[in-house]
Structure 1
Amino acid sequence: METNRYILSILVDNEPGVLSRISGLFSGRGFNIDSLSVAKTADPDVSVVTLATFCDAHIIEQIKKQLHKLINVITVNDLTQKKYVERELVLVKVHAKTEKRAEIMRIVDIFRSRIVDVGCSHFIIEVSGDSGKIKAFVELMKPMGIVEIASTGTIALGRETGK
């Protein structure tokens, strides 16, 4: 079986315990959540849960069926096979030795990122983009000496479909 990355956009009632039930569904069945992001929508009574996971095609079908059964779930939208816009925001703290500062700044510029904090021995860099861009940036920063990383996780919206 082939394992793929799936992105689900789940509209839910904005009530306490909903996220716990969703994550419980995954942990109770031994499925892993790769990325999880939750925010209110334009309607304050509704939240959107953006969830990324790696699994087999038949497992994602089971997950979607189980999510539909949860009381506070309004809709489950699998964005994986659709056109969508995906973004992550990552803060990366790297060692910024004097001899490496210019190289780090060039890489930051190439990736259209920005340095948001400068210390005597480190930079904190803000990077946003799809998961491929984030992964590529982190790989280039590893030789510089990554001190710490914080990430928002994936957020995504489906693109408008043609007529």
Structure 2
Amino acid sequence: MKRTISTLVNNNSGVLNRITGLFARRHFNIESITVGITENPNVSRMTFVVIADTMNNIEQVLKQLHKQVDVLKVKDITDESIIARELALIKIVAFPEQRGEISALVNTFRASTIDIGRESMTLQVVGDHNKVEALIDLLRPYGIKELARTGETALSRSSKKALAEPNRLSLIN
């Protein structure tokens, strides 16, 4: 089962290594990791997407994470209402006669073209995991030259219920 774990840690060297080592010792497959400084420059947020055999295994890892010196907060946010995003940069084969077709496809996904070469284009897409995967699948026939992905990063929503409107998010309490 896939679980998303959000962790706040002291922004010190070696913290990522110690935490990933903990996952490795417990035989967890880490599907993605994102790490970045928070609003406080002394604190980083780590978001892990891991594959776990049982809920008992996840609970054990969460307990062990809490014991780490530099860990400030740990939360399994899988079952919460969250906002999760991933960034992908995709360089594809794109001859001039194909660019109009590719641009229409890119616009459908609200992605953007960030570089154009003689025989290639580099695209940027931000969205949930399924959106990124869908665009990559549609671009495969053109020929993917390079692909870089950030992995998923996530935050809990401000409200349990949200109403999506075009170009804005209205919260209902």
Report the TM-score when normalising by structure 1.
0.92
Counterpart pick for 1:118 among 80, 91, 116: 116
Q: CA deviation at 1:100?
A: 2.7
AA partner of residue 80 (structure 1): T
Counterpart pick for 2:83 among 79, 82, 85: 85
AA partner of residue 93 (structure 1): K
1:158 and 1:72 map into 2 onto residues whose CA distance is 22
Match of 2:167 in 1: none
- For structure 2, which runs of at least 5 residues remain unmatched after alignment? 161-172
Q: Secondary structure at the match of 2:29?
A: coil
Identity %: 42
Q: Secondary structure at the match of 2:30?
A: coil
AA partner of residue 8 (structure 2): L
Pairs within 5 Å for 1:87-102? 87-102=85-100
Match of 1:9 in 2: 6
**RMSD over aligned Cα atoms:** 1.3
Q: CA deviation at 1:59?
A: 2.2
Q: Secondary structure at the match of 2:78?
A: coil
Q: Secondary structure at the match of 1:88?
A: strand
AA partner of residue 122 (structure 1): S
Counterpart pick for 1:32 among 26, 29, 36: 29
AA partner of residue 156 (structure 1): A
Report the TM-score when normalising by structure 2.
0.87
Question: Does the CA-based 8 Å contact 2:88-2:147 persist in structure 1?
Answer: yes
Cα deviation per residue 1:25-51 (whole Å; 9 max; x = unaligned)? Answer: 112222111111111111121111111
Q: How many residues align?
A: 160
Q: CA deviation at 1:13?
A: 0.9
1:161 and 1:65 map into 2 onto residues whose CA distance is 27
Cα deviation per residue 1:37-85 (whole Å; 9 max; x = unaligned)? Answer: 1111111211111111122323222221221121111111111000010
Match of 1:140 in 2: 138
- 1:21 counterpart = 2:13: no
- For structure 1, which runs of at least 5 residues remain unmatched after alignment? none
1:67 and 1:93 map into 2 onto residues whose CA distance is 37
